[in-house]
Amino acid sequence: MKQLVIISGKGGTGKTIISASFATLAQRKVMVDCDVDAANLFLLLHPEAQEVHQFSGGMKARVELEKCTGCGECLDVCRFSAISMPEGEIIIDPISCEGCAVCSYVCPVEAIVMESNISGEWFVSQTKYGPFVHAKLGIGEENSGKLVAEVRKKAKEIAEAKNLDFIIIDGPPGIGCPVIASLSGANMALVVTEPTISGIHDMERVTQMAHHFGIQTTSCINKYDLNLRNTEHIEKWCQKNSIPLVGKIPFASVVTESMVQGIPLTEFTKNSASQEIMNMWEKLQKILTQEDTQQ
């Protein structure tokens, strides 16, 4: 079983389009959407949820008013202005509360308790392309890295139980905690970039991060023909850093049409862009197979 993570240094490079296309091309796989802060792979895979689980990403403080004496010590130590005392009664704002628990420690009568905070949901679904594990983090909630780890753990269990060959992960953008959680233990990362200044800069950052964690990295350039000079710069950088460039996807307006229709590009039409994605998948499979041979 091989785990392929599709990542990018910035949003909007086309990760999800490529991930959804891979869903139509790979035979024995489980799909995963690890962009839990802004999940959108479901828009193209149209899953039917079979399991729904709540996710608790942290703690929140709650005051037990029957015990509270109104001394105000918790009010003095809260650094997040989550505690107020209008009309002499302690009130804790759950949105402002960061769950640090200092208030519960200083309360002399133990009137403040810490409770698990339900901050999102994760799903095990079925699609026409196979099993799909995805999640939805609540607005403004934290611990998305922990939720990513939970989603990946379930996907691995499904892949092992069904003896599947691939776990294909649509990762989050950037270089933060959710990306690190998406990469942990993966066999390969496909970095999707675009021929812009910000695309180049963020591609270099996320590639360096993947290398820091010992993840084999490949790259592809989406909409490469929009700026051939920048595309040439990316090609030279990849060659210099021994990163296989597995694809150069041309710009095509039909890609937007496929998204509007909610259909993966490789299933929606056969054109130069979809053909390049098909070629990419073949190259990635060969690289992953070579990894087994080398071992």
- The string of pLDDT tens digits covering residues 103-140 is 999 999 999 999 988 889 999 999 999 999 999 988 87
* pLDDT in the model for residue 292: 57
Q: Which two tokens stand for residue 245?
A: 């460039």
Average pLDDT of the residues in 187-204: 95
Q: Where in the chain is the domain with CATH 3.40.50.300?
A: 2-46+128-294
In sequence order, what E strands does 108-160 have? Answer: 112-127, 130-137
Kindly report the number of other CB atoms within 10 A of residue 93's CB atom.
14
Q: Do the bridges between strand 188-193 and strand 166-173 make them parallel or antiparallel, or are there none, so unpaired? A: unpaired
Average pLDDT of the residues in 44-70: 92
Give strand pairing partners of 198: none
pLDDT-derived band at 291, boundaries 50, 70, 90: low
108 neighbors 71 (Cβ within 8 angstroms)? yes
pLDDT-derived band at 33, boundaries 50, 70, 90: very high
135 neighbors 52 (Cβ within 8 angstroms)? no
Report whether pLDDT(293) > 60: no
Report whether pLDDT(143) > 80: no
> Which percentage of the chain shows pLDDT scores above 90?
81
Report whether pLDDT(142) > 80: no
Task: Considering the domain delimited by 2-46+128-294, tell me its CATH architecture.
Answer: 3-Layer(aba) Sandwich (3.40)
Residues in the chain: 295
Output the pTM of the full model: 0.88
Work out the end-to-end distance of the chain between its first and last CA atoms, rounded to an integer number of angstroms. Answer: 14
Q: Which two tokens stand for residue 124?
A: 């095990």
29 neighbors 20 (Cβ within 8 angstroms)? no
Q: Do the bridges between strand 83-84 and strand 216-222 make them parallel or antiparallel, or are there none, so unpaired? A: unpaired
Q: Where in the chain is the domain with CATH 3.30.70.20?
A: 59-118
Report whether pLDDT(245) > 80: yes
pLDDT-derived band at 86, boundaries 50, 70, 90: confident
Q: What is the dotted CATH code of the domain comprising 59-118?
A: 3.30.70.20
Between 293 and 96, name the one with better pLDDT: 96
Report whether pLDDT(22) > 60: yes
Q: How far is CA 43 from the centre of its chain?
A: 15
Please state, in angstroms and rounded to a whole number, the distance separating the CA atoms of residues 81 and 281.
Answer: 51
Q: Which long-range contacts (CB under 8 A, 24 or more apart) does 207-210 make?
A: 207/9, 207/241, 207/243, 209/175, 209/179, 209/180, 209/183, 210/7, 210/183
Between 118 and 23, name the one with better pLDDT: 23
pLDDT-derived band at 295, boundaries 50, 70, 90: very low
